[in-house]
């Protein structure tokens, strides 16, 4: 029997935010919309423009359709996949070089050329276990080392490689929105794009890590300063067949869903791109290697395991409060 995760589970980015009280004249906006195949929600206080919600929607929509989307005809990534090469502007070149760094440092656990493999699993549609020969063929055309950035051009050295920003695009969107909100002089904002959240402004924020076993509660609450927080969880998109769960975060070595003993990896970083990419990478790597990878990028990672343990590094500058029964905190 197949069971597909509900939209509600996908949306469950699990964000709580504590807003400071600003004077009554400070404009406040609450908004939500659908973009990048996910739900976006925002709360913003302050800012010069009267059209902040519309502008945030336009920034994320444009980033997707002009640059990151694999399916929007004419986007940068669409053209790169179609033609095997494309000329990036400085911003896009920077995304590629930072993501290539995450690919390298993670030993390939994060791989942004895994598009053909993800397509076979089809988690965005009706997912199923791929034919093993097709999977092996798609895997043979993936590998981050097949992307070359030289002479102002990005080239796929294997024309069948398929670049996919599915694991980092939502974080990149947060970085773009943050630049906009800073320029606006916004005082405080919480913007959630799927499982990635931007917390922006002075003072503390409280963010919930979703209880991966279901129910409305959070597994834990984190108290953090301004940052981006991304969670990759095997409960977000999955199906079950013959009693086994198959989820959407793939191990690039096998082409199958990663089995590292964790149910979710939550990464906190100043950079949305890094929080998003590293949460996927840390999920694939599991606890010990994931801690090392996060350290390399000055980020913090918190894991929830299948046994209900919440693993974090001792001395992490983030306050963690357990929020539900059945979880235990394990510090390293
Ligand atoms: P996230 O929810 O951010 O962890 O991203 C998961 C999405 O990234 C999947 O739906 C795939 O499109 C893609 N993906 C899956 N596995 C990987 C991987 N190991 N490295 C990079 N992208 C991946
Ligand atoms: Mg990610």
pLDDT for 293-322, tens place per residue? 999 999 999 999 999 999 999 877 788 888
Q: Nearest C-alpha to atom 22 of ligand 1 is from which residue? A: 167
What confidence score (pLDDT) does residue 10 get?
A: 37
Report whether pLDDT(12) > 70. Answer: no
- For tokens 């010069």, the residue is 48
What is the number of residues in the chain? 332
Q: Nearest C-alpha to atom 3 of ligand 1 is from which residue? A: 167
d(CA 169, CA 197) in angstroms, rounded, equals 12
- 9: exposed, middle or buried (C-beta count within 10 Å: 0-12, 13-18, 19+)? middle
Q: How far is CA 267 from CA 139, 244, 295, 318, in A?
A: 27, 27, 11, 11
Q: Which ligand is nearest to the CA of 143?
A: 1
Q: Read off the pLDDT of each residue in 60-88 and give the average, rounded to a whole number.
A: 98
Better pLDDT: 14 or 176: 176
Of 99, 62, 68, the closest CA to residue 81 belongs to 68
307 contact partners, CB below 8 Å, separation of at least 6: none
Residue 255, SS3 per DSSP: coil
Q: Read off the pLDDT of each residue in 92-119 and give the average, rounded to a whole number.
A: 97
Q: Read off the pLDDT of each residue in 180-188 and give the average, rounded to a whole number.
A: 97
113, two tokens: 């050329």
d(CA 261, CA 324) in angstroms, rounded, equals 20
Query: Which of 249, 256, 259 has most ligand 1 atoms within 8 Å of its beta carbon, as the pocket-test mutant?
Result: 249
Q: Nearest C-alpha to atom 11 of ligand 1 is from which residue? A: 166
What confidence score (pLDDT) does residue 9 get?
A: 38
Q: Which atom of ligand 1 is nearest to the CA of 284?
A: 19
Distance 238 CA to ligand 1 centre (A): 13
Q: For ligand 1, which residues put their CB under 6 angstroms from it? A: 110-112, 114, 118, 123, 164, 166-167, 195, 232, 236, 248-250, 252, 276, 279-280, 284
Tens of pLDDT along 187-229?
999 999 999 999 999 999 999 999 998 876 899 999 999 999 9
158, two tokens: 């294997």
Q: Which atom of ligand 1 is nearest to the CA of 170?
A: 3
Identify the band that residue 24 occupies on the pLDDT scale cut at 50, 70 and 90. Answer: low
What confidence score (pLDDT) does residue 25 get?
A: 76
pTM of the model: 0.93
Distance 283 CA to ligand 2 centre (A): 9
Distance 232 CA to ligand 1 centre (A): 8
d(CA 228, CA 207) in angstroms, rounded, equals 10
Tens of pLDDT along 287-296?
999 999 999 9
Instruction: Compute the mean pLDDT over every residue in the chain, rounded to the nearest whole number.
Output: 92
Share of the chain above pLDDT 70, in %: 92
Q: Read off the pLDDT of each residue in 15-32 and give the average, rounded to a whole number.
A: 68
Q: Which atom of ligand 1 is nearest to the CA of 280?
A: 4
Rounded to the nearest 5 percent, the helix, strand and coil shares of the chain are 30, 30, 40
User: What are the DSSP E strand ranges found in the chain?
Assistant: 28-35, 38-45, 85-86, 147-150, 153-156, 188-193, 196-201, 205-210, 218-224, 227-233, 238-241, 244-247, 262-269, 300-305, 309-312, 319-322, 328-331
What confidence score (pLDDT) does residue 23 get?
A: 57
């Amino acid at each position: 029997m197949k069971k597909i995760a509900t939209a509600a589970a996908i949306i469950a980015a699990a964000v709580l935010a504590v807003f400071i009280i600003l004077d009554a004249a400070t404009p406040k906006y609450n908004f939500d919309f659908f973009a990048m195949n996910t739900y976006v929600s925002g709360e913003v206080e302050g800012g010069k423009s009267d059209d902040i919600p519309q502008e945030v929607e336009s920034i994320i929509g444009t980033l997707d359709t002009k640059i990151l989307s694999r399916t929007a005809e004419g986007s940068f990534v669409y053209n790169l996949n179609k033609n095997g090469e494309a000329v990036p502007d400085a911003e896009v070149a920077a995304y590629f070089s930072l993501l290539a760094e995450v690919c390298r440092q993670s030993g390939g656990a994060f791989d942004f050329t895994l598009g053909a493999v993800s397509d076979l699993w089809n988690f965005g549609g009706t997912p199923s276990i791929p034919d093993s020969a097709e999977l092996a063929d798609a895997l043979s055309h993936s590998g981050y080392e097949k992307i070359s950035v030289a002479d102002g051009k990005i080239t796929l050295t294997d024309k069948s490689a398929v670049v996919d920003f599915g694991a980092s695009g939502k974080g990149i969107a947060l970085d773009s929105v943050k630049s906009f909100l800073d320029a606006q002089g916004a005082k405080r904002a919480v913007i959630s794009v799927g499982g990635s959240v931007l917390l922006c402004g002075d003072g503390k924020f409280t963010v919930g890590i979703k209880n991966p076993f279901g129910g409305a509660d959070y597994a834990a609450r984190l108290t953090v300063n301004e940052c981006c927080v991304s969670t990759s969880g095997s409960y977000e998109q999955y199906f079950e067949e013959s009693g086994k769960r198959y989820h959407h975060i793939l191990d690039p070595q096998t082409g199958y869903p990663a089995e590292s003993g964790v149910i979710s990896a939550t990464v906190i970083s100043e950079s949305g791109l890094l929080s998003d990419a590293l949460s996927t990478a840390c999920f694939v790597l599991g606890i010990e290697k994931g801690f090392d990878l996060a350290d390399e990028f000055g980020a913090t990672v918190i894991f929830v395991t299948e046994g209900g343990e919440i693993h974090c590094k001792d001395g992490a500058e983030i306050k963690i409060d357990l929020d539900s029964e059945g979880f235990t905190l394990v510090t390293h």
